[in-house]
Amino acid sequence: MTVVKAESGEGPGKGPAEGDAHDPYVPSRRRIERERHKRSRARRATTIAALSTLVTGVLLYLVVVNAPGWPRAKETFFNARYAREAFPKVLEGLWLNVRLLLVCGAAVLVLGMLIAVARTLRGPVFFPLRALAAAYTDFFRGLPLIINLMIVVLGVPALRLQGITVDPVLLGGTALTLTYSAYVAEVFRAGIESVHPSQRAAARSLGLSNRQALRYVVLPQAVRRQVPPLLNDLVSLQKDTGLVSIGGAVDAVRAADIIVGRSLNYTPYIVAGLVFVALTIPMTRFTDWVTARMDRRQAQGGTI
């Protein structure tokens, strides 16, 4: 796939003098010759690329199809019947993953921001808050997510506490939020620290209080700068919503699991996997687009 970047002619300055209606410019023979040569070279390059791709594709196909065990692999992983059976159930399950992503994503952004701000607070009163926030990020960034999930989803219901839910979806979402808030807090903190001290000095010189300087000058710049890594963490959270299935919640992964358990055919896992991939690709492309757009906006003119 070729990605063609549209170059928008930004800036008020006039482009090269070409579009001028009164310019009696006629391309010279030299230029026409040069451009013809460039075109023929481009055509040859395209032909070679197409041929080469075709040959590689055929070779790969032959290698795979003639590999020992391919018929069995095809039957176990790529069985059309099971794929058709699994697909609607997996999609139904995926709706749960999407809802988890939306709710957890919002909770993670809020909690992460609170923790990051808590770590930058000054003054002796806030010492315990600073220490707690630091301990939180250290702990939950180190704790494997799967252990966190097992403790919360499987361990908490074992306590039989009154008024505490045993719903695996709520508990799983809580565990995801706990871990991801720690990551996102670090992303925000890095952003806050990347804003040059002169910006804070300028804000304070205008009479803004420490809190106002943070709110109006530091945080907006920090958040903007951290959009790409934040979206990256959201993509990661999106796949990890599949882990709530360990508690028995019927999401896309569990829906596939149920069919696999019954049929001993692994095609439904492949289907569920591909559905997740299909869901993350737009997110990743969106991340790339946002990053590129920000780079353009921050650019100080000029094309390099």
Closest CB 295 distance from another protein, rounded Å = 12
d(CA 265, CA 300): 57
206 binds another protein (CB under 8 A): yes
Helix (H) or strand (E) holding 239: helix 227-240
By CB under 8 A, name the one of 170, 192, 203, 230 that touches another protein: 203
Burial (CB count <10 Å: 0-12, 13-18, 19+), residue 8: exposed
Please say which residue, 130 or 215, places its beta carbon nearer to another protein: 215
Letters for 156-195 (x = contact with another protein by CB under 8 A, - = none) are ----------------------------------------
By CB under 8 A, name the one of 84, 224, 262, 296 that touches another protein: 224
CB 171 within 8 A of CB 157: yes
Q: Which stretch binds another protein (CB under 8 A): 72-80, 140-148, 215-223, 261-269?
A: 215-223
Residue type, 164: I
Distances (CA, A) of 220 to 97, 122, 183, 223, 288: 30, 19, 19, 5, 20
Residue type, 127: F
207 binds another protein (CB under 8 A): yes
By CB under 8 A, name the one of 76, 212, 236, 291 that touches another protein: 212
CB 80 within 8 A of CB 153: no
Give the footprint of another protein on residues 245-304 (CB under 8 A). 298-301
CB proximity list for 208: less than 8 A, separation 6 or greater: 216, 217
57 binds another protein (CB under 8 A): no
Please say which residue, 81 or 196, places its beta carbon nearer to another protein: 196
Please say which residue, 119 or 225, places its beta carbon nearer to another protein: 225
Closest CB 203 distance from another protein, rounded Å = 8
Phi, psi of 40 (to 5 degrees): -65, -35
Give the footprint of another protein on this chain (CB under 8 A): 198-199, 201-209, 212, 216-217, 220-221, 224, 298-301
